[in-house]
Chains A and B, each alone.
Chain A
């Protein structure tokens, strides 16, 4: 996939996900993250899409949504949570990110954290 195709794909996904909600929206947002892209902008657009979906899910539903995700999706979500927590421009999100992180950790164990740190395929 070329850089343009990946950029177009993440933009298409951003608009596609807008019309969805809950677990299905999160699954769609986490599908094929632009790991091969060299453009920080493309990666940021997809991260914003994921952040948008996460913010629309209420605190009470986190457990249910996390349970519905596959192993691969959980690992990708863990990578996004670290990326989003590390974003200085959006520090107000960190509180809800920590809640997601806690629920995710319960489900996946520390293995997922290690994977998100070691993987060179960054999101």
Chain B
């Protein structure tokens, strides 16, 4: 099954009957665009981030043959992203009210016994944790074990909070970096986060000891290609005029081409591994490209990144 959502305020669950995908409409009861949708890891529920300051959490009711939605209504502004904890009972949300939050999404009808190992047991929609940021929260992401939560802000920051020492003691590690802000995050291991966004180049962050640090841009600058000067005569004159008409300059320059694969901001990063340790992923950008990345081929110190 695939779930999709769109700015038309609807979500569809698509089921495959062997040859075709058939959509079934989900009534979300929201009056603004739906911005993000994610299946819970156990596949029983999905959550939708929306512009109407609420998060519908939907589950299937067999007796009505219908997806029903329950609302989380604690946000003060648009919810940009949602992320499921591996236990499928907690949901992290990022919002343009400058806050990242964690909610209980325990639904008695579909969930097993409530897991109270990280956060104390709470009813559906109760807020378990929240924190402020200095910009819109663009993305939230749980670590593979669910012990740490990362979020990226529009203020070019990455924050990571570790809940393994208890919720009360957890304080976020805020990292402000030089590059442009990130739009989406992916934990590759407990010690490595890859973020994508307006920088056009994925950014790698790693945990050194107890604090997080910027590691490097994923794509290293290629050796500048020497622009071949055409040897005199007609060819040279032709190249000169070609450049003048195309680019308004006398000769081709190194800055004419980007040294990144993506040519516009990257909006999405998705793992291509079923494993908890992620060694390869794809990114898609607003330039219409999808790029596939293999961590092992990028000259990274894999051991230090916990891969």
Contact = CB atoms under 8 A, between A and B. Distances in A.
Nearest to A75: B176
B176 A71 contact: yes
Contacts of B156: 110-112, 114-115
Nearest to B153: A118
A23 to B, nearest CB: 21
Contact of B154 (A71, A109, A114): A114
Interface string B135-153: 1100000000000000001
B176 A110 contact: no
A61 interface: no
Contacts of B176: 71, 75, 111, 115
Contact of A119 (B134, B177, B179, B181): B134
Contact of B155 (A71, A108, A109, A119): A119
B136 to A, nearest CB: 7
Contact of B178 (A109, A118, A120): A109
A115 B155 contact: yes
Q: Chain A interface mostly helix, strand, loop or mixed?
A: helix
Contacts of A110: 156, 178-180
A109 B177 contact: yes
Interface residues of B, number: 15
A119 B155 CA distance: 7
Nearest to B135: A118
A121 interface: yes
Contact of A118 (B155, B177, B179): B155
Interface string A70-81: 010001000000
B178 A111 contact: yes
Contacts of A109: 177-179
A118 B180 contact: no
A119 B178 CA distance: 16
A103 to B, nearest CB: 14
Interface of A: 71, 75, 108-112, 114-115, 118-121
Given A71-B176, A110-B156, A110-B180, 19 more contacts: A109-B178, A109-B179, A111-B178, A111-B181, A114-B135, A114-B155, A114-B180, A114-B181, A115-B134, A115-B135, A115-B155, A115-B156, A115-B157, A118-B136, A118-B153, A118-B154, A119-B135, A120-B134, A121-B134
Across the A-B interface, give the 9 residue pairs with the lowest CB-CB distance, nearest first.
Answer: A109-B178, A111-B156, A118-B135, A115-B155, A118-B155, A111-B178, A114-B156, A118-B154, A119-B134
